[in-house]
Amino acid sequence: MNEEARKRWVFAGVMLSIFLAAIESTVVATAMPTVVASLGGIRLYSWVFSGFLLTQTVTMPLWGRFSDLYGRRSVYLVGLAAFLAGSALSGAAQDMMQLVVFRMLQGAGAGSLMTLGYTIIGELFGLEQRARMQGYISGMWGVASLLGPWIGGVLTDHVSWRWVFYINLPFGAIAMAVIATALTGMDRPVRRPVVDWAGVAFFAAGVSAVLLGIVDAGRAGSWSRIEVVALLVLGAAVLVAFVVVERRAVEPIVPLRLFRSRMVVAAVVTRFLAGMAMFGALSFVPLFLQSVTGATATGAGLALTPFVLGWVVTSVVSARLVLRVGYRRVVLAGMACLTGAFLLFTRWTSALTQGVAMRDVVLAGVGMGLVVVPMLIAVQSAVSRTDLGAATSMTQFFMSSGGALGLSVMGAVMAQRLHASLPMSGALHGVFVVGFVVCLAALASAFLVPPGRAQDLERAEMRGAPTRVGG
């Protein structure tokens, strides 16, 4: 197998495994009413989703850094194995508690697939190829979100809800075989790694506490409950200790030196705020259409299709556009589109038509497509190869964390406004106003993105790049 063929096979394996992780976020939702009827445990219903999200988010930076220390191939295969083991066990679950635990294992594995796939592509391919392929992968996320509910429904209705999980096994086995065979030369570190296990423990504990507090606040519709405050304070204290530990570590699990880069800071702040606005407020778009305008469930779901299509198309376009005009212009254009979309959301009323809703939603999708991929390419071009996994995973981590925070904050806003006896339209108007304010902050943060083109960053990084570890 020649070098180009090997790279194409690696790309195919990465695409397949990331698709499985991406679709898992939506395919389960359709099956859950049947799962509850089969297993019971309605009180644990939300934890089937929250547990997956928690472990996925917490482990993202850990997988990325482990790949810097131990090599991409071996760590990726371990993560894929964890995802498949979690899938098999979830399909075999006999009660809801088992399903929650096994979904958490599955989420931990998914955290590796989502971050290391981008990292491997970033290391294997040159700038122009990498930009194109990162665009394809980002676009594939949109396809997965469209297909997930449909596949989940078909499997649940015509086979069994258990096959919502089992379906991952044959395709995951193919991806594992391809990666194991074609991805060579990326699993031999140049020196014996020194793992910052204290940092791992503090990071996992601190982020878990914060995320649990965020999830609990969103579920209860209040940020003032003693349980929420206690979790957030505990998490913050542990994360402060984590920073102290990292400053002294030989090989920190999150290299703080990354945040000396203006590009990294711009990327994590912008993606965090964009994720907070998008994943938060867009979760309420179908609710608005159903509860306020009287749309059917099918019609409300279809209204998000233009968002996905806008994201898919502009992800591919932006990956190439950034090579021509530079990062700042593309990201600013994307954030302007996203901010404009949320401004339009705040003007929605009960007279909203399906056509206007789809127009506004597609503008939001275009905005996200112009932000996510360029920021990823920018970070990968700006950091040393020895920090590629850590830097890539941090951008993913902050976007996922922002989404969790946005959903919780906006859910609490809606609950409080409903408690004040406002109609559903008024309650959801407050949600969209919060999203608009967050978008304004994200637009301001986009000005942190340095001017210049990807080629300039790539040349600068190569001039000063130290010896690679794990690659």
Query: Is the model's pLDDT at 191 over the cut of 70?
Result: no
Is 471's pLDDT higher than 80?
no
* pLDDT the model gives residue 466: 38
Q: How confident is the model at residue 35 (pLDDT cuts 50, 70, 90)?
A: confident
Which class for 89: exposed (0-12), middle (13-18), buried (19 or more C-beta within 10 A)? middle
Does the pLDDT of residue 463 top 50, yes or no?
A: no
Top-tier CATH class for 257-465: mainly alpha
Predicted TM-score (pTM) of the model is 0.83
Binning pLDDT at 50, 70 and 90, where does residue 406 land? confident
- Per-residue pLDDT at 465: 43
- How would you label 333-351 residue by residue, b for 16+ Cβ within 10 Å and e otherwise? bbbbbbbbbbbbbbebeee
Given a cut of 70, whether residue 73 has pLDDT beyond it is yes
383, 391 in Cβ contact below 8 A? yes
What's residue 469's pLDDT?
31
Here the tokens at position 179 are 């990666």
* Range scoring the smallest mean pLDDT among 90-94, 139-143, 274-278, 445-449: 139-143
The count of other CB atoms within 10 Å of the CB of residue 155 is 20
- Residue 31: φ, ψ to 5°: -85, -15
Of how many residues is the chain composed?
471
For residue 182, name the pLDDT band (cuts at 50, 70, 90).
Answer: confident
What residue spans define the domains of the chain?
1-185, 196-250, 257-465
| pLDDT of 412 | 82
Q: What's the CA gap between 427 and 411, in Å, rounded?
A: 10
Q: Give the confidence band of 386 by pLDDT, cuts at 50, 70, 90.
A: confident
**pLDDT of the residue at 297:** 63
Average pLDDT of the chain, as a whole number: 84
Closest CA to 221 of 59, 61, 416: 416
pLDDT surpasses 60 at 306: yes
* Range from 19-28, 45-54, 189-198, 288-297 carrying the lowest mean pLDDT: 189-198
Q: Is the pLDDT of residue 260 over 90?
A: no
Identify the top-confidence range among 141-145, 146-150, 363-367.
363-367
CB atoms closer than 10 angstroms to residue 147: 15
**The pLDDT of residue 392 is above 80:** yes
Q: Which two tokens stand for residue 332?
A: 């600013």
DSSP string, 376-432: HHHHHHHS-GGGHHHHHHHHHHHHHHHHHHHHHHHHHHHHHHHHTT--HHHHHHHHH
Q: Is the dihedral of CA 377, 382, 386, 389 positive or negative?
A: negative
Please identify which residue in the block is written with the tokens 């995802």: 83
In terms of Cα–Cα distance, which of 164, 165, 239, 221 is closest to 401? Answer: 239
Q: Are 136 and 327 in contact (CB under 8 A)?
A: no
Tokens 């901010």 locate to 339
Q: What is the DSSP letter of 195?
A: -
pLDDT band with cut points at 50, 70 and 90 for residue 108: very high
State pLDDT tens for residues 204-230.
999 999 989 988 887 777 788 898 899
- Which residue from 214, 169, 167, 238 is spatially nearest to 50, judged by alpha carbons? 214
Model confidence over 330-368: pLDDT tens digits? Answer: 999 999 999 999 999 999 988 888 888 889 999 998 998
Model pLDDT, residue 449: 85
pLDDT of residue 105: 95
| pLDDT tens-digit series, residues 223-243 | 888 988 999 999 999 999 999
Tell the CATH superfamily of the 1-185 domain.
MFS general substrate transporter like domains (1.20.1250.20)
Burial class of residue 296 (count of CB atoms within 10 Å of its CB; 0-12, 13-18, 19+)? exposed
The per-residue pLDDT for range 46-70, each reduced to its tens digit, is 788 888 888 999 999 999 989 888 8
Closest CA relative to residue 228, chosen from 412, 8, 400, 440: 412
Q: Is the model's pLDDT at 457 over the cut of 70?
A: no
State the pLDDT confidence band at 138, using cuts at 50, 70 and 90.
confident
**Of 21-35, 166-180, 282-296, 397-411, highest mean pLDDT:** 166-180
Q: What is the pLDDT, as a whole number, of residue 458?
A: 56
Give the chain's count of helices (H) and strands (E).
18, 0
Q: Do domains 1-185 and 257-465 have the same CATH topology?
A: yes
